[in-house]
Amino acid sequence: MEMVWLLLCSFALLLKMSLVCNSEAGSVTYDARSLIIDGQHKILFSGSIHYPRSTPEMWPSLIAKAKEGGIDVIQTYVFWNLHEPRQGKFDFSGRQDIISFVKEVQKQGLYVCLRIGPFIESEWSYGGLPIWLRDIPGIVFRSDNEPFKTEMEKFTTKMVTMMKAENLYASQGGPIILSQIENEYNMVEPAFHERGPPYVRWAAAMAVGQQTGVPWVMCKQDDAPDPVINSCNGMNCGETFAGPNSPIKPSLWTENWTSQYQVYGGEPYIRSAEEIAYQVALFIAKNRGSYVNYYMYHGGTNFGRTASAFVVTSYYDEAPLDEYGSIRQPKWGHLKELHAAVKLASSALLSGDQTIISLGQLQDAYVFEEQSGECAAFLVNKGPKHATVLFQESSYQLPTKSISILPDCKKVAFNTAKVSAQHATRSWQVAQKFDSAENWEEYKEAIPNFEKTTLRASTLPEQISITKDESDYLWYTFSFQHDSDAQSTLSVKSHGHVLHTFVNGVFTGSAHGRHRNESFSLEQTVTLSKGINYISLLSAMVGLPDNGAYLERKVGGLHEVRVEDQDFSKISWGYQVGLDGEKLQIHSDSGSSKVQWSKLGSSDHPPLTWYKILFDAPAGHDSIALNLGSMGKGEAWVNGQSIGRFWVSFQTPKGKPSQTWYNVPRSFLKPTGNLLVLLEEENGDPLGISLDKVSITQVCGHVSETHLPPVSKWLVQKTQNQNNTKTKLGRRPKIQLSCPPKKSISKVLFSSFGNPSGDCKTYATGSCHSSNSKAIVEQACLGKRRCSIPVSLQKFGDPCPSISKTLLVDAQCT
């Protein structure tokens, strides 16, 4: 009974230290140590979750998983062009319901950091700025420019007023403890010359003048005017952040990138849990950092056409919560342990004096000691090799580039390089194949020629100004007389992003740019007829730009067209914004009936074809995704809601699509009769599409005797020591396996206690192996959703006394 009582007390203490239990904050101020909430200094871990990149049905689960992972604050941008798509016309419904999102965070007892911007970048179309701003006479974005400042202040004031009306600021008892104005302005400020610094001062004063009662930050803005706090963005703020620009401001890290956004044609960037944990621990130890935000904690989906130029539809899928909202291991679990370890040291970190002690050429100890004697230490090994260091007359082993956290300056609770969290394998299982031609219908988009377009220009129109982001597409058409049937050279220069060419209604070729090199040229041989020839050029944008100075001057579309040596750039052009299918909204139930669909034709799939099919929702609760691996480029809709652009044909240097599976939220679906519509620009084959279930099907643990026990065991041991209690529990490393909800461990695929080779991706039994390894694990885990197996000689015996033992277990979840 005494042991049970100790465990309960310890876990309660850990919960209290690692989670914020009351988001009704009251007053929020700051000093050099940290934010001060209701008079208490706080070390806060934050996670970015963007409300429009998921669905309202997902919000409660995402926030709950973040909280379980030791997150105290949910950080989100505010998306101006989503809320005010037309000047003075606002939308806060559905995924745009920011008030409901903030209230859900509050309901679950977490704080909010509201990054109003309103320029946000965020790989979001036009950096979040509404396209209608371009039409305001004399406007220069993000500078000391009255037209822009007027609109920026209007929107900022509207958002603040909305939050105040719902009592959502901490000063009103709400969850919002921090706000942000502007976004990484220092990156473009020099380009505005004398118009830059006054704008920074104005933005800061305007924000503070909103009287929210909570501090404001400017990220990556070294000259953020008082009282606005300058904060760090990036992957290595423990190494790169110069610190606050005032001795009375705290060190805040507003964007710690958990991976990187991915672009079409680009490989995914994988950032390890060990690297993230190292940088967080270093920022806290070296910079006395007290606020760390993970960008992203859940990335989600760029639904519709919201992704910026060349950015894929899936956003930060490698975050601790993946695109579908599932826990990504070991990243989530390793960071949870880090958060708990740091919270154990929070008293000394917030109240103690910092001392830096050299332990070697590339090793240091950051020690925090209070007058009461409370002490915490961070032992840092910056080197490329394992190191043994002596600290306070005790020896400590530090793996390569790692940090050990000693909450009492004696025992190690956590090391950034020692991952005990399980690894999880996500897989896709086909739920429904769409391989029957009888079930598909198609509609071929009309190719307009000069005579069928009504809009005219005397030169090539600039695409962004003409389309106003109503469509990705702009048709350029012209006609000319040719005196014979002949082969000729068509040459086109484009500012981006994609071009499809048609001569006399016949498709003749395509070309495209790429991320950060949007402009391109096309040169092809075409067949001309004697008499009038019609040239139709379809220019497609793949998202608007989201960064850079003078964004209002960015251009898209064609800027030179030649046939042989004749320049046709300055002739009478006919143009058309968008496709006929878009205007008729044939992706919706009502719009679909406005055109005559045909049964799917032969194996020849011409470009610019719409496809539709009906399907029933798969049974169960697993996430759902469309496998579009057989398609080329276009956009997909389910029951009238766009699940985003796809561009499967633009492959990475390794010859793979940048994205194959496209998220279909369950909330988009009806039980039966769901409408799937796709626009295919190229010649993709819809018969290869399938609807797949996405789930975690395997969990694996790989822990050795040199790993650390869970941080909760550190608390148990500390409580035992304080009470002079001896138990058999001890502090042993262990494998902890956990299947997703409604799944359990059905099979142990591999188990070896000894010296197994490899890791959770590839493994094999080594020269040392306990023969009862699998039986012990099966007894502990089969039929259970969760199980725990200590790395213990008492459990497995000692098959080879001369070596350190490792336990590797791989199990199946069904």
Positions annotated as catalytic residues are 184, 255
The three state secondary structure string of 747-802 is EEEEEEEECCEECCCCEECCCCECCCHHHHHHHHHCCCCEEEEECCHHHHCCCCCC
- CA–CA separation, 691 and 670 (whole Å): 15
Q: Which residue has the tokens 């045909």?
A: 598
Contact between 519 and 494 under an 8 Å Cβ cutoff? The reply is yes
Q: Please enumerate in sequence order all residues whose Cβ is within 8 A of that of 516, keeping only pairs 6 or more positions apart, or say none.
A: none
Q: In 345-462, which ranges are continuous DSSP H helix?
A: 346-351
Q: CA–CA distance from 539 to each of 444, 475, 579, 580 (Å)?
A: 18, 6, 11, 15
Name the CA radius of gyration of the chain, rounded: 29
Helix (H, G, I), strand (E, B) or coil at 83: helix
Q: Dihedral sign, CA of 486, 491, 496, 497?
A: positive
Give the C-alpha separation, 73 to 102, whole Å. 11
Signed CA dihedral, 80, 86, 91, 95: sign only: negative
For 525, half-sphere exposure in the C-beta direction (CA atoms, 13 angstrom radius) is 2
Strands of 402-472 (E only): list them.
Answer: 402-406, 414-415, 423-433, 441-444, 455-457
DSSP three-state, residue 219: strand
Beta bridge partners of 534: 479
Distance CA(183)–CA(152), nearest Å, equals 13
- From the list 266, 627, 562, the residue with the least C-alpha distance to 431 is 627
Rounded-to-integer distance, Cα 493 and Cα 779, Å: 67
Name the phi and psi angles at 437, rounded to 5.
Answer: -60, -25
How does 396-420 read in b/e, with b if 16+ C-beta sit within 10 Å?
bebbebbbbbbbbbebbbbbbbbbb
